[in-house]
A and B are shown apart, each in its own frame.
Chain A
Amino acid sequence: EVQLLESGGGLVQPGGSLRLSCAASGFAFSSYAMSWVRQAPGKGLEWVSTIRASGDNTYYADSVKGRFAISRDNSKNTLYLQMNSLRAEDTAVYYCAKVEGSWWLSLYFDYWGQGTLVTVSS
């Protein structure tokens, strides 16, 4: 059974930093790309970032480019999201998601974690 367990969320001041983790189990983690998707309170889903299986290539939404960094440790089956220069508009539940798809540009998210809440406020 695929399981994704996020951690690291919490309250942080504007301009601060936070690192999210996602512990994966139940599948060959090192063989799959992974993503982060967020959802602001009462709002819709927003793709944040994706990393290839090897970790060599990363992709970001314009809204977080230059501030967030996705990474992974395949030896620990863990995905990370380093968030710097946080803003109020980054307040959201952050979901870790396993990526699937035969064509890279048509990828989709077949398994999701339960999410971790990040609140940016003074």
Chain B
Amino acid sequence: QSVLTQPPSVSGAPGQRVTISCTGSSSNIGAGYDVHWYQQLPGTAPKLLIYGNNNRPSGVPDRFSGSKSGTSASLAITGLQAEDEADYYCQSYDSSLGGWVFGGGTKLTVL
């Protein structure tokens, strides 16, 4: 059981907007530590998608955006495309555990 809670799955039709939540606590997100997001396409290594809550690395489409408020963070994907079908993970630091932590992951299905 991860200290960062994500929904196991979300889905949406092409062109739609979906959001993936990442719920933490006062020892991680709520303590002010940044949240980062990764995309893992089937059979491949994870790829950095969002860093520092809402920053996109070069090459990541602006259809992907991140936000953070209180003890939670969210990843939003607009204009959903078939190639967005993947697993998505949030990541932060937890002071109680004394280490970096990942959410359990969310499988995005494009209908």
Chain A interface residues (CB < 8 Å from chain B)? 35, 37, 44-47, 50, 59-62, 95, 100-101, 103, 105-115
Distance between Cα atoms of A33 and B70 in the complex (Å): 29
Closest chain-B Cβ to A22's Cβ sits at a distance in Å of 12
The residue of chain A having its C-beta at the shortest distance from the C-beta of B105 within the complex is: A44
Bound complex: CA A99 to CA B35 (Å) = 14
List B contacts of A61 (CB < 8 A): 99
Specify which chain A residues have a CB less than 8 angstroms from the CB of B51 in the assembled complex.
100-101, 108, 110
Besides A105-B95, A107-B93, A112-B47, 13 other A-B contacts (C-beta < 8 A): A35-B100, A44-B102, A45-B46, A50-B100, A61-B99, A95-B46, A105-B33, A105-B93, A106-B34, A108-B51, A110-B57, A112-B46, A115-B45
- Asked whether B103 lies within 8 Å of A106 as measured between CB atoms, the reply is no
Q: How far is the CA of A119 from the CA of B99 in the complex (A)?
A: 25
Q: Of all chain B residues, which has the CB nearest A50?
A: B100
Q: A44-B89, A105-B93 are in contact. Are A110 and B48 (CB under 8 A)?
A: yes
Q: Taking the nearest CB of chain B, how far is it from the CB of A3, in angstroms?
A: 12
Is B111 on the interface with A (CB-CB < 8 A)? no
B89 touches A59 (CB 8 A): no
